[in-house]
Each structure stands twice: as structure tokens, then as C-alpha cells.
């Protein structure tokens, strides 16, 4: 941007010493200008704001002011970059006196959590991911969508949920297998409560409930979960997209606020809810 403004200044250099003065003799909704040349007190009438000379003098002044502001911004950004310390786990840990450092390792995949989560939550995420790695991926060809942390998911609705959890600092792991009555199931999201760092809730997203065959899948999943020790709307929650394919983030925010993180950013939920509708394609 600075280069662009510098080029504009250079191309208009001949207008640098020229000044404009509003001509008060003209009574109109338009502004009329006189040109004041160096060494002259008397103005030369130019016309209104559509006059090419008027425009070029204004363009020169704009470019000059833009360069001043941009140079200050560059100076501020360079200072920020020089003094910035990334608030990830390893950097913060290294700033502590040796007495207060922990040896909890945080690998690259956990950086999305490390700046906002306590060590217990980070360890919970790591342990659950290790548990997930014991099982081969279920129908990996269906994992077509990617959340902000790089996790591959099956639907855009799941990505919206994952991104909301990431942006609000909620610990979760996607599709960790669990057994109910000997049958293997894949809960969409296992989430650790930041209230006590012990309670775990499950969120199952039903993205195509309005299609012809999908309700049978939902009923089968619900029937299976009812055979477990999970209590609906206490340990297990279902989210849905409506007939237009839009997910109500506010429903998710209410669940998280009550059971996981009471201080959740409600503005984030509103911002994501106001985003354009996203249609699921599975």
C-alpha cells in the first residue's frame, strides 16, 4: 500500500506546492475552488470538484497523508513484531521461574488449545486423541471438510460446531469411538466441562434430519444411546440444521454456557449466527 501511495505521490509531484481555496462567491450545493500558486496571493478560479486540477491536488494531498499514516503503522507493526511473544503453552511456560514450570508436553496439534486451556484440559485432549488413534478411521472418504484446527469432518454443520468450540476455547475431540452394549458408536463431539475439568458431555449433530432416510438413522442412534448410562440433555445433546440447512448456533451456545463454560462469549455466537446460511452436503 505504501508503494502504491509513493507512486501516486511521484506521479502528482507537480501539484505538491499548489493549494486550493473554496470560492465563497458561488452559492450552490457544489463546492467551487480557486487555485493558489506558490508566490501568488490571488487565486485562479478552477471550477467545482469535478475539475481535473482540483481532483489532482486532492489526490496528491490524500496520498501524502496516507504515506504519513502508513509509515506510522509500519513502525508500530515492526515494534509489535519485535516484542511479540506468542501466548502458546511452551512460551508461557518458559517465562515462568523454574519452580513453577510444568513438564506437560504440548505437541503442534494442540496449539489451538494451548493458549486458553488449563493443563488438565490439554492432557484430557491428548489422552482422548491417543484413544482415538487405536481405531481405524470410519469411512475416511467421507471426511471432506476441515475445521480451523485441521480436523477433517463429515459435514459443514460439524465444522461450524468445531470452529465455534475452537474460537470460544472449549476442549473437545471429534469422533472418538465408544461402545454401547457391545456396539461401536462414533459420538460427533466429546467435550470436557471447564467448570470442574471432569464432566464430559457429548454432542451429536443431525445435519440432514429433513431428508427422507436420515430420520431413521437419528432414531436408531437415539435408541442406542438410550441403552447407555447417558442422560439426554444432561450428558448427551443433539443439534440440528433446519429445513434450509442452517444450524442454530444459539442452541449450542446455551448448552456450552450451562454445562461447560458459563463465561462463554455470547457475541461470538451472535456473529456466527448472523453469517450466511451454510447448506450441508454429505
Phi first, then psi: give them for residue 44, nearest 5 degrees.
Answer: -105, 125
Q: Are residues 117 and 253 in the same domain?
A: yes
- Produce one character per residue of 209-219: b if its CB has 16 or more CB atoms within 10 Å, e if not: eeeeeeeeeee
Q: Are residues 158 and 268 in the same domain?
A: yes
Q: Which residues pair with 47 in a beta bridge?
A: 33
Q: Are residues 147 and 254 in the same domain?
A: yes
Q: Are residues 172 and 264 in the same domain?
A: yes
pLDDT at 25: 72
Q: Are residues 139 and 253 in the same domain?
A: yes
Q: Are residues 217 and 262 in the same domain?
A: yes
Q: What is the average pLDDT across 111-130?
A: 80
Q: Are residues 63 and 111 in the same domain?
A: no
Q: Are residues 75 and 121 in the same domain?
A: no
* CA–CA separation, 238 and 164 (whole Å): 16
Q: What is the average pLDDT across 87-103?
A: 74
pLDDT at 245: 66
In a domain, 171, yes or no: yes
Q: Are residues 49 and 150 in the same domain?
A: no
Q: Are residues 140 and 247 in the same domain?
A: yes
pLDDT at 108: 46
158 within 8 A of 173, measured Cβ to Cβ: no
Name the residue range of residue 174's domain. 105-273
> Could you give the number of structural domains in the chain?
2
pLDDT at 113: 55
- What's the grid cell of residue 270? 451472535
Q: Is the pLDDT of residue 3 over 80?
A: yes
In a domain, 280, yes or no: no
Q: Is the pLDDT of residue 44 over 50?
A: yes
Amino acid at each position: 500500500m505504501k508503494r502504491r501511495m509513493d507512486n501516486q505521490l511521484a506521479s502528482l509531484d507537480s501539484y505538491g506546492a499548489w493549494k486550493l481555496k473554496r470560492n465563497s462567491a458561488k452559492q450552490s450545493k457544489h463546492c467551487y475552488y480557486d487555485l493558489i500558486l506558490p508566490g501568488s496571493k490571488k487565486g485562479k478560479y478552477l471550477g467545482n470538484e469535478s475539475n481535473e486540477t482540483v481532483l489532482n491536488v486532492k489526490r496528491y494531498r490524500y496520498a501524502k497523508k496516507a504515506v504519513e499514516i502508513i509509515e506510522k503503522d509500519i513502525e508500530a507493526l515492526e515494534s509489535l513484531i519485535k516484542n511479540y511473544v506468542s501466548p502458546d503453552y511452551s512460551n508461557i511456560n518458559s517465562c515462568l521461574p523454574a519452580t513453577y514450570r510444568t513438564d506437560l508436553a504440548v505437541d503442534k496439534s494442540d496449539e489451538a488449545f494451548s493458549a486458553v486451556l488449563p493443563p488438565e484440559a490439554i492432557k484430557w485432549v491428548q489422552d482422548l486423541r491417543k484413544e482415538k488413534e487405536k481405531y481405524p478411521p470410519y469411512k475416511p472418504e467421507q471426511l471432506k471438510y476441515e475445521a480451523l484446527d485441521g480436523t477433517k469432518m463429515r459435514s459443514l454443520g460439524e465444522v461450524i460446531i468445531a470452529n465455534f468450540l475452537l474460537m470460544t476455547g472449549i476442549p473437545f475431540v471429534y469422533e472418538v469411538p465408544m461402545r454401547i452394549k457391545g456396539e461401536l458408536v462414533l459420538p460427533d463431539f466429546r467435550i470436557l466441562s471447564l467448570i470442574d475439568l471432569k464432566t464430559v458431555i457429548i454432542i451429536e449433530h443431525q445435519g440432514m434430519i429433513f431428508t427422507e432416510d436420515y430420520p431413521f438413522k437419528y432414531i436408531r442412534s437415539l435408541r442406542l444411546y438410550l441403552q447407555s448410562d447417558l442422560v439426554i440433555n444432561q450428558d448427551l445433546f443433539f443439534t440440528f440444521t433446519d429445513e434450509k440447512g442452517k444450524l442454530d448456533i444459539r442452541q449450542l451456545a446455551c448448552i456450552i454456557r450451562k454445562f461447560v463454560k458459563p463465561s462463554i462469549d455470547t457475541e461470538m455466537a451472535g456473529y456466527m449466527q448472523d453469517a450466511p446460511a451454510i447448506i450441508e452436503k454429505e
